Amino acid sequence: MPKFFNSKSKQLEGDIDGFLDRITTAGLIFQEGVKAYVNGKSDKFERNFKEITALESDADNIRRDIKHKLYTYMLIPESRGDVLGLLETLDDIVDICEKVLEQFSIETPEIPEFLRSDFIELAELSSKAVEEVVKGARAFFREIAMVSDYVNKVHFYEHEADDVEEHLKRRAFNSNEIKRFSHKVHMRYFAEKIAEVSDVAESVAERLSVYAIKRRI
Amino acid sequence: MLTIIFFLSSGLFLGWSLGANDAANIFGTAVGTKMIKFKTAALICSIFIIIGAVVSGAGASHTLGELGAVNQLAGAFIVALSAAMTVMWMTKAGLPVSTSQAVVGAIIGWNFFSKTPTSMSSLSKIVGTWIFSPILSALFAFLLYHIIKRIVEKSNIHLMRLDSYTRIGLLIVGAFGSYSLGANNIGNVMGVFIASSPFKDFTIADIFQISSTQQLFLIGGIAIALGVFTYSKKVMMTVGSGIFKLSPVTALVVVLASSITLFLFASQGLYNLLTSLHLPAFPLVPVSSSQAVVGSVMGISLAKGGRNLNFKKLSHISMGWLVTPLGSAILAYVALFFMQNVFMQNVFN
């Protein structure tokens, strides 16, 4: 019987690790995709967009599989709800990343030269927030005491992203270089969309800190 | 034969109710929190209760015998019946009750009726143990909680693996707890029948000698197991999801601490070892598994900084020390009177 328990839980450990790997990768692809778009490398951008679409459905499948196994084998009855909640909100991050790249692909916003670095920095900060929240999630499974460290880092990057977002929007609206009002609004929309990734990462971090308290013995 | 079965029936009934109630103290949280399936829990619980009862049940029963050797089968029937009735009524009234206390009360009732002097040294030993056992349990739980917490935090074990280790732990500790429960509490169920046991010793193939007492304990153990299978599920669900909200790991600590306590007050081997080393030994006395569990939960509350310490529960326990034996003694006295004068049975020699 111990072997039975162990093999199932080892399998799930692997599944969870695989799921978390995909979230980190999604964050990185998102960052690279925005960078490629802003720098006008449309081939590379479309490649990134395809990659993240594949990753999104992959992550979905793994999550469903984990959910199925947790219920079928009646594992971690106490923290099952929390774990599934955590995985679901982490999955939202991938969804948002994919959606943002999709919007870029559909709407093809025209990014003026002077806003490029801001857009890239914003995408980097959002991706950092994702990276840290995934580390926090790993800590939730293995090293509960470390969770708060990562949660703090997520808060930090989200705050930085907010600053850059505001700065970007002000520059867009104050600029004489962008002539049309609709163009300014378009810039605002994409700044908000990219920053939303870090917002979602932050809300996952919030959950994580509560789950971590609950998991303390 | 029929008379024997009839007179033993009250003891078997007591065993059944013990199984129905006390198995939940061992496996309640594990089953209630769905860490272990009820069927698995019931099977392990029954097997180990029977083993504990037959192998190591003599010690604690002996102490009950010292308190009062009920020497007529009809008398033993009434003593066990009064104890069982007391347990049943108090459970119905929602009062915390211990089979040990009910049995001791009923034996004292018999002592009064048969004008047998009650051994004060045995009585004080028993009552002292009742008070001491939840305290000891709390102490064990306090220490174990800190040790296990440290191990879990230091080892950085994955949540999934911790879960499977906890399950295995709950099964092993549950088996140990069931063994200890059988060893410690079989005296309550069958102890009063020892002096008037209708069975004869016999040996199997000149190797295994099974004494009449062990035969009694085997039957009692089976009655307890029956109680576990037929009625304990409901109680387990209440314990697991109701009174104490414990995480699986703390549940493991609670069961381990309580089981060690039950074991210490039942292990003849340990008693002999400590005595041979001229160390103070734990008296072999049937104690209440429910109170050991409450003690353990208190110990964990203290280890967590004294929050959620339920003083009402503590006062309930101490009330039980008085009310249960008293009620049971009175009931036994009255019932013995009827048995002797209405049914014309000898209830003592």
Task: Tell me the per-residue pLDDT of B216-244, one tens digit each, with 9 for 90 and over.
Answer: 899 999 999 999 998 888 777 765 554 55
pLDDT, residue B317, reads: 66
When mean pLDDT is compared across B28-32, B179-183, B221-225, the lowest value belongs to: B28-32
Q: Is a pLDDT exceeding 60 seen at residue A3?
A: no
Residue bearing the bigger pLDDT, A101 or B344: A101
Q: Is a pLDDT exceeding 70 seen at residue B310?
A: no
First to last CA, chain B: 21
Nearest CA in chain B to A3: B164
CB contact under 8 A, A78 and B33: yes
When mean pLDDT is compared across A4-8, A19-23, A178-182, the lowest value belongs to: A4-8
Q: Are residues B138 and B302 in contact, defined by beta-carbon separation less than 8 angstroms?
A: yes
Q: Is a pLDDT exceeding 90 seen at residue A120?
A: yes
Smallest Cβ–Cβ distance between B164 and the set A5, A78, A140 belongs to A5
Average pLDDT of chain B, as a whole number: 85
Q: Spell out the residues 6+ positions from residue A84 whose beta carbon is closer than 8 angstroms to its own.
A: A66, A67, A70
pLDDT in tens, B252-262: 999 999 999 99
Cβ count within 10 A of residue B121? 9
Distance from CA of B242 to the nearest CA of A (A): 14
Interface test with A, best of B164, B244, B254, B300 (most A CBs within 10 A): B164
CB contact under 8 A, A9 and B33: no
CB contact under 8 A, B34 and A143: no
Respond yes or no on whether ipTM tops 0.90.
no
Interface test with B, best of A4, A5, A66 (most B CBs within 10 A): A5
Smallest Cβ–Cβ distance between A74 and the set B34, B148, B153 belongs to B34
CA distance A120 to A114: 11
Q: Which residue has the tokens 């019987």?
A: A1
Give the 3-state secondary structure of chain A: CHHHHHHHHHHHHHHHHHHHHHHHHHHHHHHHHHHHHHCCCHHHHHHHHHHHHHHHHHHHHHHHHHHHHHHHCCCCCCCHHHHHHHHHHHHHHHHHHHHHHHHHHHHCCCCCHHHHHHHHHHHHHHHHHHHHHHHHHHHHHHCHHHHHHHHHHHHHHHHHHHHHHHHHHHHHHHCCCCCCHHHHHHHHHHHHHHHHHHHHHHHHHHHHHHHHHHHCC
All residues of chain A having their beta carbon less than 8 Å from the beta carbon of residue B244 are none
CA distance B26 to A19: 37
- Residue whose C-alpha is closest to residue B21's, from B81, B87, B117, B79: B87
When mean pLDDT is compared across A9-13, A82-86, B88-92, B314-318, the lowest value belongs to: B314-318
Distance from CA of B119 to the nearest CA of A (A): 46
Confidence at A197, pLDDT banded by 50, 70, 90:
very high
pLDDT in tens, B39-59: 999 999 999 999 999 988 888
Task: Give the β-pairing of B208-210 and B202-204.
Answer: antiparallel
Interface test with B, best of A3, A17, A76 (most B CBs within 10 A): A76
pLDDT, residue B96, reads: 63
SS3 at position B203: strand
Q: Which residue has the tokens 């014309």?
A: B344
CA distance B132 to B56: 21
**Residue B116 gets which letter from DSSP?**
P
Smallest Cβ–Cβ distance between B160 and the set A13, A78, A145 belongs to A13
Find the mean pLDDT for residues A6-19. Answer: 87
